[in-house]
Amino acid sequence: MHGFFIESFIDELAYLQNEDPFEYRTSLLAHQPRFLKALNKAAEKASWHQLLPENWGRGIAIHQSFGTIVAEVVEVQIIKGKIHVERVVCIADAGFAMHRDAFIAQMESGIIYGLTAAWYGDIKQKWCGKTA
C-alpha cells in the first residue's frame, strides 16, 4: 500500500506541473538507471505515448519492495460507469530470480492483490486516544 500512496502523490505532483506522469517520473529517476530502465521498458511495452480510445485511461507507477524494482502500466476502459481492467504491463527487476516461474507467479499475484485492494478496499478514518 505504501507504493500506492507514494505513486498517487507523484501523479498529483505531475498534474500540478502539467506534465505527463511518465515524463515526470523519468525526470525524478534521472540518476537511478535501474529504476529508469524498468520504467522505460514498461512504458514501451504498454505503448505509453499511443492515444487511447474514448472512455479509456492509463496509469503508470514504479516502486521498489524487498529489493525488486517493479514498474507497471494499467489500462482501463469505462463501460456504463464501471471500470474494466483491459491490460496490466509489469516489468520487474529482481536482479536474480532463483525460480523464474515462482517469480512470475509472485508478480501476477501482486497485480491481483493490488486490483483487489483498489476495487474492494475501504479506507476509514479512526482516531486513537483522546479527541480534541
Tell me the C-alpha distance between 95 and 87, whole Å.
25
What is the enclosing helix (H) or strand (E) of 61? strand 56-65
CATH class for domain 2-120? Answer: alpha beta
Question: Which grid cell is 120?
Answer: 474492494
Given a cut of 60, is residue 65 above it in pLDDT?
A: yes
| pTM for this prediction | 0.86
Given a cut of 80, is residue 58 above it in pLDDT?
A: yes
- Model confidence at 125, pLDDT cuts 50, 70, 90, reads low
- Model confidence at 89, pLDDT cuts 50, 70, 90, reads very high
pLDDT per position as a tens digit, 21-39: 999 999 999 999 999 999 9
- Which of 68, 57, 71, 76 has the alpha carbon at shortest distance from 7? 71
Given a cut of 70, is residue 83 above it in pLDDT?
A: yes
109 CB burial (10 A radius; 0-12, 13-18, 19+): exposed
Average pLDDT estimate for 63-81: 95
- Sequence letter at residue 97: A
What is the enclosing helix (H) or strand (E) of 45? helix 33-45
Q: What is the pLDDT of residue 1?
A: 74
7: left (phi over 0), alpha (psi -120 to 50) or beta: alpha
Would you call 93 helix, strand, or coil by DSSP?
strand
